[in-house]
Homo-oligomer: A and B are copies of this chain.
Amino acid sequence: MARVVRFHKFGGPDVLQIDDIPARAPGQNEIRLKVVAIGLNRAECLFREGKYLERPRELPSLIGYEASGVIDAIGEGVTGFEVGDKVSTIPSFPMSKYGVYGDYCIVPAISVSHFPDNLSFEQAASIWMQYLTAYGALIQYSRIMPGDYVLITAASSSVGYAAIELTKAKGATCIATTRAQDKKQRLLDAGAHHVIVTDEEDLVARVNDITKGHGADVILDPVAGPFIKKLAEAAASGGVIYEYGNLSLSDTPFPMFQALNKGLMVRGYSMFEVTSKPDRLERARNFVYNGLKSGALKPVIDRVFPLEQLADAHRYMESNVQHGKILVKV
């Protein structure tokens, strides 16, 4: 039997429940993991509420994108992996079918990756969503380089911290935003060149000051909503705003005037643009793997909950007080 987390109806954190169900054998091109750690993502909160890009067709539904663990069984047709390998999962599958919350999970072999030896299981469950999301926008598409100004909103999130690391790794200037003063120091410690506390400071004035009137070349934003107008004002001519989420849950206006004036681009973006193309994923995976191995990249971990407190872990994520990744240990 496996202890698998499912939800039988859409709703708040309390709909998550641990069900004891028989552990099935992995099918063709599938791998089964004995899970050690699970990394949480906003995507799962939205998924649990039925508000995510993927909406399960039937309930109960599995849930969860990121786990690390040890390979326990291997299906037909899988190459490159052996039982006993330490691996973690790359979110490139439907959660309703392959969700990883639980003590065992089954995922497609293409969604499994080894991780460098210098990483703990907790760190290994904190890699792929955050680094691949930031990588696709900043490196694959925008090819950031020294001289570029990169504005990262909601910077205390796991993707935010990953984006700070990637921006610094590429030699660009990193401007992080957070709503709360008490998060500022941690962001500076993590390497942000500048931190703007948006509840207290004028974003546009500060960005103009920092960039000497140039504006932000690349903006990575998971919040969306009306604040996009300020982001557009803070953007450089020819700049791009990546919207990779809609945490505001508000309608988002297209900032027409600024866009026409500056040739601005507003782009919906998700990590699946990276993970759905094998060649892109391989390039991204190598970049991240090497960065982790060398120590240039190091996942920021906030807090670890036991599996039995998964609902609390979801509540904690939604409270927005975290710095970096929230984990569950099985």
Number of residues on chain A facing chain B (CB within 8 A): 28
Please tell me if A279 contacts chain B, counting CB pairs below 8 Å: no
Tell me, rounded to whole Å, the shortest Cβ–Cβ distance linking A298 to chain B: 29
Q: List B contacts of A255 (CB < 8 A).
A: 268
Q: List B contacts of A208 (CB < 8 A).
A: none
Q: How far is the CA of A265 from the CA of B240 in the complex (A)?
A: 9
Q: In the complex, are the beta carbons of A246 and B256 less than 8 A apart?
A: yes
Please tell me if A261 contacts chain B, counting CB pairs below 8 Å: yes
Q: List B contacts of A259 (CB < 8 A).
A: 243, 266-268
Q: For window 262-302 of chain A, which residues contact chain B by CB distance below 8 Å?
A: 262-270, 273
Q: How far is the CA of A264 from the CA of B241 in the complex (A)?
A: 12
Please tell me if A76 contacts chain B, counting CB pairs below 8 Å: no
Q: How far is the CA of A263 from the CA of B140 in the complex (A)?
A: 14
Q: How far is the CA of A19 from the CA of B273 in the complex (A)?
A: 58
Q: In the complex, are the beta carbons of B265 and A243 less than 8 A apart?
A: no
Tell me, rounded to whole Å, the shortest Cβ–Cβ distance linking A220 to chain B: 14
Q: In the complex, are the beta carbons of A273 and B263 less than 8 A apart?
A: yes
The oligomer's copy count stands at: 2
Tell me, rounded to whole Å, the shortest Cβ–Cβ distance linking A161 to chain B: 22
Q: List B contacts of A258 (CB < 8 A).
A: 268
Q: In the complex, are the beta carbons of A268 and B262 less than 8 A apart?
A: yes
Tell me, rounded to whole Å, the shortest Cβ–Cβ distance linking A224 to chain B: 6
Q: In the complex, are the beta carbons of B267 and A243 less than 8 A apart?
A: no
Q: In the complex, are the beta carbons of A263 and B256 less than 8 A apart?
A: no
Q: In the complex, are the beta carbons of B273 and A260 less than 8 A apart?
A: no
Q: List B contacts of A266 (CB < 8 A).
A: 254, 259, 265-267
Q: List B contacts of A245 (CB < 8 A).
A: 260
Decide yes or no: A224 and B268 within 8 Å by CB, A261-B53, A263-B273 being known contacts: no
Interface centre among A251, A252, A256, A270 (most CB of B within 10 A): A256
Q: List B contacts of A246 (CB < 8 A).
A: 256, 260
Q: In the complex, are the beta carbons of A260 and B270 less than 8 A apart?
A: yes
Please tell me if A172 contacts chain B, counting CB pairs below 8 Å: no
Q: For window 113-129 of chain A, which residues contact chain B by CB distance below 8 Å?
A: none
Please tell me if A50 contacts chain B, counting CB pairs below 8 Å: no
Please tell me if A228 contacts chain B, counting CB pairs below 8 Å: yes
Q: In the complex, are the beta carbons of B251 and A253 less than 8 A apart?
A: yes
Q: In the complex, are the beta carbons of A264 and B256 less than 8 A apart?
A: no
Q: In the complex, are the beta carbons of A260 and B53 less than 8 A apart?
A: yes
- 3 cross-chain pairs, A with B, having the tightest CB-CB distances, nearest first: A259-B268, A252-B254, A260-B268
Q: List 19 A-B contacts (CB under 8 A).
A: A53-B260, A228-B254, A243-B259, A243-B260, A244-B260, A246-B260, A253-B253, A254-B254, A254-B266, A256-B268, A258-B268, A259-B267, A260-B269, A260-B270, A263-B268, A263-B269, A263-B273, A265-B266, A266-B266
